[in-house]
Amino acid sequence: MKSSSLFAWLMVAAGIAVAISGCIASGPAPLAQSQPPLPTASPAAHLLYVDHYGIFYEYALPLTSASKPVRTLTEWPGLISPPVIAADQYGNVALGSPTQLRFFHVPITSFAASHAYLTLTLTPAMTGIGGSGQADLVDMEYDPNENLWLLNDLNSEVSELASPITKSTVSAALTIGFGAPGSKTAGYTDLIEARFDVNAALYVYAATSLPAYALFKISFPYAKPPSNVGLNVSTPDFVDSSQWPPTAPVAPSLLVGQYDGSLRSPSPGQPPSPPADVMAQFPQPLNPQIGPYPNAWVNTLTTALIADPYRYSFYALSMIDGSLNVYPLPLRGGATPSVSLPCLGGPSHCSQKEEHIFLAP
């Protein structure tokens, strides 16, 4: 998962922007579950997975200033470019190349092909395949129902592989297109990343060729076209009030991410404040009387983050040097990391590179 307009621009420039003819969901309704999962308190995670441009690090939680990775793995030995990566709520990992998907059960001890419990060849029925026989996957994400979603920049579409995913999985259960003229996503043909909230609502961060960036929401069961959230927030993560532990004195619902926009509403008769690119927090749902402005922010750039309500913390990766930083949750304005760990992969894997971060039990 990526962050900041600079990083997103780098990703967009590397993608293939091809408009498609439709922008609404096609195919049958999601098959795994007839309704979204009920929100439940999140159990304590024991592991943190950190991906630095194709190098996988596993950390034990809680993090301290002396923490070191307990495991370091190359994700796809021999692949020219790093694979896309996703981890589900149980700590299992999926990797994607332009032609294949590989699936690994926890504990993750190796990403060698022989350790994959399942390998699938991508088909045109799963996602767009170009004349070279390859897809242009830019991200993958598991939803709370264990369905796996693929973001393909070849044809600007998001497709769902319904759970359980087996060797018999040869087609997508659902496809959502972006970029069609006249639609709410018109021009947004460059997909960047996806995220789900506890109610299985899908959020897609996308860009135009200008470039302009926006976060789109598609609620379960994904029957309506994507709608613009009205915020330029990358690396988004959501905390539902039900996810706080019982001891939490306050249980707000929050959106945390890398925000590019005005920090406060303008005074009467004054223009809006100039946009800032900061890591920010928004109350959920947004209060229309206050406007779409953050209630806390930190002047930093992040490429990936994930919230850990159980520990009142979230973990963020720096866009500048890939350092792993721990911040308080809810975020306090001007907060500094309680723990900061260096990226061990060197400049080729740590500076302005694709990075991802996941919690695992």
pLDDT digits (tens, 9 = 90+) for 216-263: 999 999 999 999 999 999 999 999 999 999 889 889 999 999 999 999
With beta carbons less than 8 A apart as the criterion, state whether 166 and 103 touch.
no
Q: What was the pLDDT predicted at 250?
A: 84
Place of tokens 């950190």: 50
**What's the rounded Cα separation, in Å, for the pair 308 and 314?**
5
286, with CB counted inside 10 A (0-12, 13-18, 19+), is middle
Domain count, the chain: 1
How far does CA 360 lie from the centroid of its chain? 15
Q: What was the pLDDT predicted at 193?
A: 98
Q: What was the pLDDT predicted at 86?
A: 98
Q: What was the pLDDT predicted at 26?
A: 52
Query: How many CB atoms neighbour CB 34 within 10 A?
Result: 9
**What's the rounded Cα separation, in Å, for the pair 218 and 84?**
22
Q: What was the pLDDT predicted at 270?
A: 82
- pLDDT tens-digit readout, 23-37: 445 544 444 445 778
With beta carbons less than 8 A apart as the criterion, state whether 237 and 187 touch.
no
Of 176, 312, 340, nearest to 256 by C-alpha is: 312
Report CA-CA distances (Å) from 56 to 72, 76, 81: 6, 10, 14
Residues in a beta bridge with 234: 258
* Residue type present at position 43: P
Q: What was the pLDDT predicted at 34?
A: 55
**What's the rounded Cα separation, in Å, for the pair 184 and 36?**
24
Q: What was the pLDDT predicted at 77?
A: 92
- pLDDT tens-digit readout, 329-358: 999 999 999 999 999 998 889 988 899 999
Helices (H), the chain: 5-14, 347-350
Looking at residue 176, which CATH number applies to its domain? Answer: 2.120.10.30
Q: What is the span of the domain harbouring residue 334?
A: 5-360
The residue ranges of the chain whose pLDDT is under 50 are: 1-24, 27-33
Q: What was the pLDDT predicted at 25?
A: 55
**What's the rounded Cα separation, in Å, for the pair 12 and 134?**
18
186, with CB counted inside 10 A (0-12, 13-18, 19+), is middle
Q: What was the pLDDT predicted at 9?
A: 37
With beta carbons less than 8 A apart as the criterion, state whether 82 and 354 touch.
yes
Q: What was the pLDDT predicted at 62?
A: 97
Cut 0.85: pTM above it = yes
**What's the rounded Cα separation, in Å, for the pair 286 and 353?**
31
Q: Strands across the sheet with 47-52, in order?
A: 71-74, 55-60, 47-52, 355-360
* Residue type present at position 158: V
336, with CB counted inside 10 A (0-12, 13-18, 19+), is exposed
